Each structure stands twice: as structure tokens, then as C-alpha cells.
Amino acid sequence: MFSADTYSSRRKRLAEQVGSGLILIPGNSESPMNYPGNPYHFRQDSTFLYFFGHDVPGLAGVVDADSGRSTLYGDDFTVDDIIWMGPQQTMAEKQDLCGADSVRPFEALDTHVKEAEAQGRTIHFLPQYRGEGRILISRLTGHQVLEVNNKTSETLIRAVVAQRNIKSPDEVAEIEKALEISYEMNRLAMKSAKAGLKEQEIYGAVEGLVLSRGSHVSFPVIFSVHGETLHNHHHHNIMKDGDLLVLDSGAESPLHYASDITRTFPVNGKFTPAQADIYSIVLEAQLASITRMRPGETNRNAHLHAVSVIASGLKDLGFMKGDVDEAVAAGAHALFMPHGLGHMIGLDVHDMENLGEDYVGYDERVKRGTQFGLAYLRMGRAYEPGHVLTTEPGIYFIPELIDQWAGEKRHAGFINYEKVRQYRDFGGIRIEDDVLITETEPRVLGRPIAKTIDDVVSWCAA
């Protein structure tokens, strides 16, 4: 955990921002796989981690926005529990570690909330992404379970996002611990891939490495010769000579901050000229986007700049035609890059997506676009020092999308479908790093992971 002062001052600021009422921050409970005693790996709620720090199930935090006092709810374990679980921290120890003003048994939470409601005070809570969270809030507030997410507090959402969007040096250091594992994951995958192996063999080794470092993945590993499927979680293909592999993966730091890195490399360690051509465009777009990542610029503009580089490169290779600016304005490039440039990263790999992407990545000055491609941009707003976000442009040849667009002659003035059809089976390429916005130069976090063609070839040959 961070120091108790860190959690106390985060809660104090939260209380000030929310102003009045009771703020409910439930932790997560265990999530059973097939019977209650056989749970999935426990993952604490990220907002609970941010404000109370404790990484165990069965807790809830309350911050009184009027008094600024905070209470941690939970129960001490009995010897019967400890026989199975081993020694556990007491609630009093947990109180000290997170600096809460008091601790109470979990069942006392009902009374606390109901008394506040009886006094006409507002009960603030966040959108709940698990059934158990909705049921708990429903029990405490009397809202119907299916209504809970319609009754959330926008004031609280905005206050949480305002704090969590700006990472402190300690948080950046955590992200860099996760990135150190990413470095090893990518090194292992690049040196281990070879024709004849199944994707699942490398996938298993990469995830095993994460576990062996005492961590867990920050999202299910994407590893495939079919990189044109953006989130490809199937790992059953046999890798062949000439295939490209996309590895999009991340780990968690000890305090659960995420890394998220994508690299694309050839199974046999050597890019064909056609692969090198497309790879070079993606790399140029990624590097160009990073130069834009500084205060005063918006991620929307960085996205548009990156896709212009892609459209221009694809025009040079004969896949696109016409005026590049007009093609980008029309959205023709989205045949090749149908997703956004990147997203905030922190305690969640898509940071605070559960609170609403538009609260995190947009504001009154930059609204989400509606055009195909741009609409998937998770973050459009202006950069501020302390933002950490990914930049992850790509070029994909998605057979179903090509067929659909070609059939409709969509953007036929900007796309050379005859040439595109020849690349139907090319696959996809994506390159992703995690970048800290500073007052001056953007900082690509973590130890550099092979990204130039020469470095990738040399890592594959290691």
C-alpha cells in the first residue's frame, strides 16, 4: 500500500469536491467460478484501491463529505477462518494502514446509510459493473437492482475522475513496475515464437512469466497470427513461416497499476518487404503521435495526425488515393484503422471505463465524434501533465470489412480496392506504448521494448 497519508488526503480532497452527502465506495467480493468456495482470482475494485488501498474482499468504505470523516466497514476473521486462510490483518490494523477515522462491522453499513437517508442526505455511489455491487447498493438504498446504475452520482463520478486522471510520481512508478514485466513478456515472446508451435504455447509461457513475477495480467492476453482481429483471444492457430504475430498484453504492478504494450513481429524473425512497408507506416504514425503528446494539444488531434500519416503511407503504397486530408476528413482511412489512437491507463488498463469513457476522455471542449473509427476514440480531450495514456495506431486488413466496403463502393474515390483485395490475408499490425504527459516532453514509460524493425529482428533472433 501507499502511506496512510496518501489515502487520507485523497479522501479529504474527494469530500471537498463532492461537498455534501455520504459517499459509498464498496470493495469487491469474491467471484465464484462454479461454487462459492472456488472463486476466480480476486481483483479489488480500482476506486476502492485508490481511496482505501486494501486488496481483500469483504470491505466497504464510506466518506462523509460534510465532515470529511471516513469509515472502513468489514469484519475481523475468526479462528475458524484463519484455519483455512492463514493469519489475517485485523480491522484495527487495516484502519491504521489506510488512515480511516473509524472501523465498523460490515452489517453496521446498513444503519449508517439508512440514518443518512432519513436525514435527507444524498447517498453518492458510482456505476456498478458487478451484480454483487448492484445488489449491495440496492439493499442499502432501496433502489431496484436494475435501477441502481440509473441512480449514480455524476458529482461523484466527476470528482473521482478528476483525481484519478492525474497520476502522481508514485503512481507512475507503479506503472513502470508493470512495464518492467511487459519488457520481459515481449522479450520472451519474440525469442520463443517459431513456425510449427501453437500460439497457445507462447501465450501460456507469457502469462506464466507474469504469474512467476507475482503479478497477474492487466487484461486477457491478445496473441495471434490474426492480428486483424483487434481483440483476438483465440490461441489455437499453428504459427507458420511468413506469419506476423500481434502481442497486445500487460501486467499489474504490486498495487495493481496496469501496463499495456503491443508489439508485432514475424514468426520467423524476418519481415517480408511487404510487411516491412506496412510496419514502417505504423511505426511512423506511432512516433508522430508521441511528439504531439504535450499540454495544449488534444488526443483527438494526435489521433487525426496519426491516421493522416497512415493514409499518406497507404497512398504511397497504392492502397489509398486522392487527397489525404479529404480522405481522413471523410473517414476513409478507418477501413485500415477502425479504432482510436489510445486510452487513459492507471489502476485499470482502460482507466475508469466503468465510470463512463466520456467522463474520462472527453469534456465540454472536446466531444466524442460519431464517424466510424473516430467514434471508438476513448480519449479526445486536451493533455494535462500527469495524464498517462496509450498510443496504439495500427493497420489491419479485415476481410469482412473490406468485402462490406468494397461491395458498397464506400469511399471508392479514396480506396484502391483492387490493391486492397490482394492483401486480404495480410493480417494486422499494431504498435503500442504507454506515455506520461509532462510539462514539457512526453515520456514513453518503461525500459524501451524493441520497436524499430532492426531491434525487433534482433530480439527475435536472441
CB of 392 to Mn ion, least distance (A): 5
In terms of CB distance, is 198 or 233 closer to ligand GLY? 233
With CB under 5 to 8 Å by kind, the binding choice for 171 among ligand GLY, Mn ion, none is none
Distance of alpha carbon 368 from the chain centroid: 18
Find the radius of gyration of the CA atoms of the chain: 24
Stretch that binds Mn ion, among 97-105, 175-183, 308-316, 388-396 (CB under 5 A): 388-396
Cell reading at 230: 483487434
With CB under 5 to 8 Å by kind, the binding choice for 45 among ligand GLY, Mn ion, none is none
Contact residues toward ligand GLY (CB under 6 A) are: 219, 248, 260, 343
Among 28, 186, 299, 390, binds Mn ion (CB under 5 A): 390
**Should residue 260 be labelled a site residue for Mn ion when binding is judged by CB under 5 A?**
yes
CB of 412 to ligand GLY, least distance (A): 30
In terms of CB distance, is 228 or 248 closer to ligand GLY? 248
In terms of CB distance, is 207 or 260 closer to Mn ion? 260
Amino acid at position 85, single letter: M
CB of 432 to Mn ion, least distance (A): 5
Phi/psi at 258 (nearest 5 deg)? -100, 155
Interacting positions 5-64 with Mn ion (CB under 5 A) = none
Residue whose C-alpha cell is 495471434: 224
**Should residue 289 be labelled a site residue for Mn ion when binding is judged by CB under 5 A?**
no
CA-based torsion, 27, 33, 34, 36: positive or negative: negative
CB of 74 to ligand GLY, least distance (A): 33
CB of 361 to ligand GLY, least distance (A): 13
CB of 300 to ligand GLY, least distance (A): 17
CB of 402 to ligand GLY, least distance (A): 22
In terms of CB distance, is 64 or 260 closer to Mn ion? 260
Stretch that binds Mn ion, among 34-42, 201-209, 225-233, 253-261 (CB under 5 A): 253-261
With CB under 5 to 8 Å by kind, the binding choice for 186 among Mn ion, ligand GLY, none is none
Report the interface residues with Mn ion, using CB under 5 A. Answer: 260, 390
